[in-house]
Amino acid sequence: MKKRVLILGCGISGASLARLFKDAGHYVEIREKGKEVGGMLRDGWDKEGKCYVSWDGPHIINFSKETKKAENFLLKNTTLVPFKHKVLCLGNNSSFTYWPINLTYKSLFEFMFPKKSIFDEFVASYSKKMWKKHAKDQIERIKDRFKPKDNYNQDFFQGRNQYQPVRGYSNMVRDLIRGCHLVLNKSESLKSLKKEFDKWDYIIVTSHIDTFFGYKFGKLQFKGLDFEFKKIRSDENVLPTCVVNLNQHPKYIRVSEINQLQAKENKSKTRVLCFDYPSDKNRFYPVENENNLMKIQKYKDYSLNFPKITFCGRTANYKYKDIDDSIMDSIALFQNLTRKHKLKEFK
Ligand SMILES: Cc1cc2nc3c(=O)[nH]c(=O)nc-3n(C[C@H](O)[C@H](O)[C@H](O)COP(=O)(O)OP(=O)(O)OC[C@H]3O[C@@H](n4cnc5c(N)ncnc54)[C@H](O)[C@@H]3O)c2cc1C
């Protein structure tokens, strides 16, 4: 039976859900707070129409064997071009390496700085700059995860299939929502939706859960980034790799050359450099400490009072997710709902 599905937010999570429900024959409406689709992935031409800019920083789509289903889903619904991502990382002591560190750079580093630790050189200073008073918790959390590679590979995403969307990210999201009803500049919450509950079979929220519930249990903490763009006239690439991590810089975390990150080589003489730096202006990365994890649990328990409403995506579930995992979550949610209600399934 045809269902009526309302999706809040048109980032990759909302757009993937929209495609899945639409292909299964249901009516889908998406309401997006912003004036454009794409969420964190939003990109487009600058005011003068000369430079292509990723407004919330550079992205690279990458899939592992475990997220193959998401890769197939995206390849079926939009055009992606293979890509290879490389990152150069500048350390604190005039050292540099491809990131993540491989065996070559590990041995070079140990030769140059026998008394120093690679972790302190490349990771700790970044964590302090980014996480400030939360850095101690964060360093403890990532310490075990950080290990130099045990091979000589120089890729950032070793062994993962990497892509860029052929016409940019916002167009990729537009491909996904083809045939769905889209309403822009529409911010919704539990309060604003109450009157139309009966109209919908499913309401899926892909925006911040605390905002949706009017901060009933307080505001969840996030760390954010902000971006400064600098345009430079040059016939050649400006950076040696598309992203350079700036560990030793007091403000900036990394610099990316947007032209190098596009699917089709962008030969424009205007090179766009994007500098990111920590900022509380945006709510990007959950601060997963005891207090916040308790709060999110309260929100999740409370959401059980509203069986029609489900939460999906990075900010809705207060969990950092990459694009592939976000799509996997959307597929899993769609499958759960369709199995529960015996609807047509996704193959
Ligand atoms: C700096 C940075 C770099 C990243 N780089 C990569 C990368 O290289 N590769 C990768 O795989 N992943 C990367 N990620 C992760 C990736 O951005 C996320 O996985 C993905 O964008 C999450 O999509 P989403 O749809 O869940 O959330 P979002 O993109 O945040 O979408 C949520 C949408 O909901 C809308 N919204 C908010 N409130 C409301 C409301 N009240 N009513 C209606 N709509 C609302 C928002 O405007 C937004 O459009 C990066 C993340 C960050 C922070």
**Domain CATH code at residue 329:** 3.40.50.720
Q: Which of 10-14, 94-98, 170-174, 281-285 has the lowest mean pLDDT?
A: 94-98
Categorise residue 268: left if φ over 0, alpha if ψ from -120 to 50, beta otherwise. Answer: beta
pLDDT: which is higher, 3 or 347: 3
Least confident stretch, 140-154, 168-182, 226-240, 253-267: 140-154
Give the pLDDT mean for 274-291. Answer: 91
**14 C-beta closer than 6 A to ligand 1:** yes
What number does the ligand 1 atom closest to the CA of 13 have?
25
Q: What is the pTM of this model?
A: 0.93
Whether 133 is in a domain gets the answer no
Q: How many angstroms does the Cα of residue 218 sit away from the middle of ligand 1? A: 22
Q: Is 89 part of any domain? A: no
pLDDT over 90 at 1, yes or no: no
Q: Is 258 in the pocket of ligand 1 (CB under 6 A)?
A: no
User: Looking at 99-103, 222-226, 261-265, 340-344, which range is the least confident one?
Assistant: 340-344
**Mean pLDDT within 18-39:** 97
User: Ligand 1 centroid to 39 CA: how many Å?
Assistant: 5
pLDDT(181) > 80 = yes
pLDDT at 322: 95
Q: Averaged over 252-257, what is the pLDDT?
A: 94
Q: How far is the CA of 225 from the centre of ligand 1 (A)?
A: 13
Question: Is 265 part of a structural domain of the chain?
Answer: no
Q: Does the residue 72 lie in any domain? A: no
What pLDDT, on a 0 to 100 scale, did the predictor assign at position 339?
85
Residue 240 lies in a domain: no
Domain count along the chain: 1
pLDDT tens digits, residue range 69-121?
999 999 999 999 999 999 999 888 778 889 888 999 889 888 988 988 888 88
Atom of ligand 1 nearest to the CA of 56: 1
Mean pLDDT of 52-58: 87
Q: Sheet of 222-233: strands edge to edge?
A: 96-99, 87-90, 243-246, 254-257, 270-279, 222-233, 285-286
Residue 306 in domain: yes
pLDDT, residue 346, reads 53
Atom 49 (ligand 1) nearest CA:
39
Residue-range definition of the domain harbouring residue 328: 1-37+177-215+288-347
